[in-house]
Amino acid sequence: MPADLDTKHGGRRLSLGPLCQIPVGEGRGFEAGNERIAVFRPRCGGVYATQAHCPHRGGPLADGLLGGTTLVCPLHAWRFDLASGEVLTGGGRITTYRVVLTADGDMVIDLGIGSP
């Protein structure tokens, strides 16, 4: 069940369910609100969320390879920094979202505060 947990600052927070849906070092695609997003759990720790599709030709970012917080798109190997959203192979940015973990290990995504 999506739960609108908090609407202050104009942001919208949705629960994505338990962290264990994503294996360590991989990503998974989620549907949150009306958005499709990719959520990652790199081995170096943390949980990161980005837009679901690659800005290049729409590759499924959740299927990419992770090295630290660098994500490599599975189709033509564009690289992105998960933390900043920066496109490391050419400039520009992808949308990133903040994800926080609740005390019982659920991921909550903030759709309001995405980087432009």
Those residues with Cβ within 8 angstroms of residue 103's Cβ, 6 or more apart along the chain or in another chain: none
> Is residue 78 within the footprint of ligand FES (CB under 6 A)?
yes
Helix (H, G, I), strand (E, B) or coil at 5: coil
Give CA–CA dist 7/90, Å, rounded: 35
- Among 27, 59, 85, 114, indicate the residue that binds ligand FES (CB under 6 A): 59
- The Cβ-side half-sphere exposure at 64, using a 13 Å CA radius, reads 32
> Is residue 76 within the footprint of ligand FES (CB under 6 A)?
yes
8 Å CB contact between 68 and 48: no
Interacting stretch for ligand FES, rule CB under 6 A, among 14-22, 42-50, 57-65, 102-110? Answer: 57-65
**Contact of residue 94 among another protein, ligand FES, none (CB under 5-8 Å per partner type):** none
Q: Cβ of residue 30: shortest distance to ligand FES, in angstroms?
A: 18
- Furthest C-alpha separation in the chain: 39
**Contact of residue 11 among ligand FES, another protein, none (CB under 5-8 Å per partner type):** none
> Is residue 22 within the footprint of ligand FES (CB under 6 A)?
no
Name the residues that contact ligand FES, by CB under 6 A.
Answer: 54, 56-59, 73, 75-78
